[in-house]
Structure 1
Amino acid sequence: MRRRFRGTPGEHVVWLNFKDATHPHSGGAEEYMHQVTARMVAGGQRVTIVTSRPRHAARAARIGGAAVRRMGNAYTVYPLALLWLLRHRRGIDAIVDTCNGIPFLSPLAVGRRIPVVVLIHHVHQVMFGQRFRFPLAQLGRWLERVGNRLVYGVRTIAVVSPSSRTEVRRVLGLIGPVYVAANGQEPIVVPGAGRCEAPRIVCVGRLAPHKRWDLLLRALPRIAELVPDVELHLVGDGPCRSELAALIDELGIAGRVTMHGRLDDEHRNRLLASGWLTVCTSEVEGWGLAVTEAMSLGVPAVVLASPGLRDSVRNRQTGWVVARPQHLAGQITSALIELEDRGVAALWAVRCRAWAGRFTWAATTDRLTGLLAGEDARRAGHDNRPICDLSTVVELPTHLAARIDFTRLRDVDQVDWEPARVRLLLAGYDESDATALLDRLGITLDPAVTRVAVARPADLLGWQRAAGSRAGDLRPFFAHAVKENAA
């Protein structure tokens, strides 16, 4: 079977997603989609976004250079999208199929002719029970769990965090290879911004049931016992706004809480930069983009140990991960007291900015494109390695990396570097496999200057570049780095 997709200019990528940025309920999944598709277009690819059509929205539009085709409502978009794919399948080179609980089941329309990568931000099994009654809740759970397995089979799955990968395996039981393609973020600069004199908590997010903002509001009176001047600012809107407003009145904390609703980026970022702390109490979160955006402004986070959040926050380095909701008040209080010292707060800010700076949309785009190319290689029979969730990290000095032909690695492998060191993430390899591969590439590993270890969950995050056919020849780049270091 011939290759269809290599990530080169002129190829046509279709991105299936329930909403686009103009939808009144758009959120992080839509931000992810538009940031990546805009960069795909900038790289010369042709992108079509197939999505639902809210009332009064145009059937066709362009966002970030990508063509948007809107059809159907929250339920009918799925069969209509399948019909659209069936009609246009001969002109499609690759598909990103976003499963926001309900899958698009695109292979039913395109079969094995076209590479499909399934993108899952988080598992929705709990949320179906919150949003729907019997029997719709049971049907949604069945489609996400069993429907996915039946239709996608061993197709490549992209998730946004290591804990989401665990959920995809443990809860959904999907059997295809699962790779992490973490959220990126735009650099946020707020000239002249500084933190507020009073201890301020600033939280950004949709006021939706699964966000559990009620947990934070109920903790606030206990926090105020030891931090009397604490204030809370909530930025965002959603179906729970009136319910949360009533709870604020019931708890008698109206003087401490400001609900801003939606703010434009400038005002939101300035308010966020003034905070001492951000908090996320979500039960279900693919990653927690609002949390890493706060970190990019030097603001640490307190989060529940939910899937995604426990990856986006490095416990006791860029924030605090709380195991149980009943511990929220104590941890937030302790964090605010610790951050009273401006010198201590400055150290937290340095670590937060360094961590957040590792995540870029350029790296996310490169990763998704590499996964599409890797899935196409599997479809065409060029990569027949067994499916394995194990990965190995190889760390070696730059002068050795300058001898590696990175195009001989696979598109699902990754590369990262610092001035004197280069790291490789080899998917589906243990230490012995990785050592043997490097030996075939002409690199004999010296334990004194190299490290080979099975990847931990945290090792799957923060990579700069896809290896394989997309890497190009990195040898001159690393050779130049060696000369610079020597000088």
Structure 2
Amino acid sequence: MDTYGTPSRHVLFLNWRDTLNPEGGGSEVYIERIAAELVTAGHQVTLFCAAHRNAGRSTVTDSGVRVLRRGSRMTVYLRAALICLAGRFGFGPLSRRGLGRPDLIVDVCNGVPFFAPLYAGRPVIALVHHVHREQWPVVFGPWLARIGWWIESRLAVRLYRRCRYVTVSEASRAELATLGVDAERIDVVPNGTPPVTGPALPRTLHPSLLVLGRLVPHKRVEIALRTVAELADELPELELVVAGQGWWEEPLRELAGTLGITDRVRFAGFVTEEEKHALLCSSWLALTPSLKEGWGLTIVEAAARSTPTLAFRYAGGVAEAMVDTETGVLVDDEQEFTTVVRDLLADDVRRKDMGEAALAHAARFTWAATGARFAQLVARATARTG
């Protein structure tokens, strides 16, 4: 039995990455924190994802989540199907590790789903952080973008028509509903706020900005770079730190050179939790210029250090990760983005008030509450198979 008095279950998460993957991001943090909370509640949890150079084929996290890594970014979907089919007949890596057939599969749909209803033979929950309508043409060429969007908006909606959905914000819930997913089948389970990993640290003496996240085109770090270039003459000591890694780093470095701000921008690469904590504490403002986010984990991470964030109003769940004009500011276009950065850097009182409000707002979201909510969904979804 779990801590809520319901039978313990084996939950299998299918996700293309884990947090140790060089391209892992906030969505992977969400999956692994949910998985850890389910283990705490008494469930067995396995995460299946693509293999990569940073970890072995099979590991167990400190929280007790077993991670199986097979295949590449593209073949991980086929490998997941083969492993699940093997498990149904009592062989394969799940059976060899004494895990047995899962009671529930959580199919994490990052644009492309794992198509689990076709082979699972068990209840399936579709977990969608956000709809990728805008990202497809940014990341891929026109033909691949059309195919990807057709899979996400048409094929997947039909394939998962008998499944429950989980998403992280009301904004994503509304978008899924516009694609034809019945609103009553969608549960919203928001992110928790990651724990603060160190003592409070002072702000930099000079104006400082931070962009934290994967370096990929749809994160639009270019907007932050152009903002620094526009404010460079007014604020000769202004600095931007870009913390994170990704395949888009070189074009961003080239743009910084073209804009003449190489000496104003520090590309920090991958940062440890301690380094991230120091950057979030010391920066005057955090910037989230992303085109779309399901929630905006970095926004509440910054808020937990009393650092307000700027983001775009149309970028999905970011409007729920903050309270506009109170814990940060939502803007409508790039010109307004630059204007608000200028205004907030010049207004110490307003910036401090926003930071204090952000700290209180972030405290509302806990992983324990998020995990408890997800555990209820596990119990409901597996009641029949029990």
- Normalised by the length of structure 1, the TM-score is 0.71
Q: After superposition, where does 1:153-302 map in structure 2 within 5 Å? A: 153-170=161-178, 172-175=179-182, 177-302=185-310
Question: Match of 1:351, as an amino acid?
Answer: A
Tell me the percent identity: 35
Q: Which structure's CA Rg is the greater one?
A: 1
Tell me if structure 2 keeps the 8 A contact 1:148–1:174.
Answer: no
The secondary structure found in structure 2 opposite 1:258 is: strand
Tell me if structure 2 keeps the 8 A contact 1:227–1:337.
Answer: no
Q: After superposition, where does 1:96-107 map in structure 2 within 5 Å? A: 96-107=106-117
Alignment counterpart, residue 108 of structure 1, candidates 97, 114, 118: 118
**Greater relative contact order: 1 or 2 (C-alpha under 8 angstroms, separation 6 or more)?**
2
**1:97-142 deviation per Cα after TM superposition (whole angstroms, max 9, x unaligned):** 100111112111134xx33211111112332223333543322212
**1:317-342 deviation per Cα after TM superposition (whole angstroms, max 9, x unaligned):** 1000001222111111111112x23x
Q: After superposition, where does 1:37-48 map in structure 2 within 5 Å? A: 37-48=35-46
Partner of 1:310: 319
The secondary structure found in structure 1 opposite 2:166 is: strand
In 2: Cα distance, 1:78 partner to 1:371 partner: 24
Q: After superposition, where does 1:331-410 map in structure 2 within 5 Å? A: 331-338=340-347, 340-341=348-349, 344-376=350-382
Q: Which moved more, 1:199-208 or 1:122-131?
A: 122-131
In 2: Cα distance, 1:315 partner to 1:7 partner: 40
Tell me if structure 2 keeps the 8 A contact 1:156–1:371.
Answer: no
**1:129-176 deviation per Cα after TM superposition (whole angstroms, max 9, x unaligned):** 233335433222121111212211042111111111122122x33236
Change in Cα spacing, 1:337 to 1:57, as seen in structure 2 (3 Å) is: closer
Tell me if structure 1 keeps the 8 A contact 2:37–2:372.
Answer: no
Q: Which moved more, 1:227-236 or 1:196-205?
A: 227-236
Tell me if structure 1 keeps the 8 A contact 2:165–2:187.
Answer: yes
Question: Match of 1:88, as an amino acid?
Answer: G
Tell me if structure 2 keeps the 8 A contact 1:7–1:370.
Answer: no
**1:330-363 deviation per Cα after TM superposition (whole angstroms, max 9, x unaligned):** 111111112x23xx44422221111011111111
In 1: Cα distance, 2:358 partner to 2:58 partner: 40
Partner of 2:73: 74
**1:271-318 deviation per Cα after TM superposition (whole angstroms, max 9, x unaligned):** 220111111100011111111101100000111111111221210110
Alignment counterpart, residue 327 of structure 1, candidates 336, 344, 353: 336
Gaps spanning 5+ residues in structure 2: where?
89-99
In 1: Cα distance, 2:279 partner to 2:75 partner: 39
In 1: Cα distance, 2:278 partner to 2:192 partner: 20
Q: After superposition, where does 1:2-21 map in structure 2 within 5 Å? A: 8=6, 10-21=8-19
Tell me if structure 1 keeps the 8 A contact 2:21–2:54.
Answer: no
CA displacement at 1:212 relative to structure 2: 0.5
The secondary structure found in structure 2 opposite 1:302 is: strand
Gaps spanning 5+ residues in structure 1: where?
1-5, 381-487
Partner of 2:97: none
In 1: Cα distance, 2:171 partner to 2:105 partner: 24
* Structural RMSD (CA): 2.1
In 1: Cα distance, 2:19 partner to 2:262 partner: 32
- Normalised by the length of structure 2, the TM-score is 0.89
Q: After superposition, where does 1:15-34 map in structure 2 within 5 Å? A: 15-34=13-32
The secondary structure found in structure 1 opposite 2:214 is: coil
In 2: Cα distance, 1:69 partner to 1:268 partner: 27
In 1: Cα distance, 2:5 partner to 2:26 partner: 24
Partner of 2:93: none
Partner of 1:83: 82
In 1: Cα distance, 2:149 partner to 2:60 partner: 33
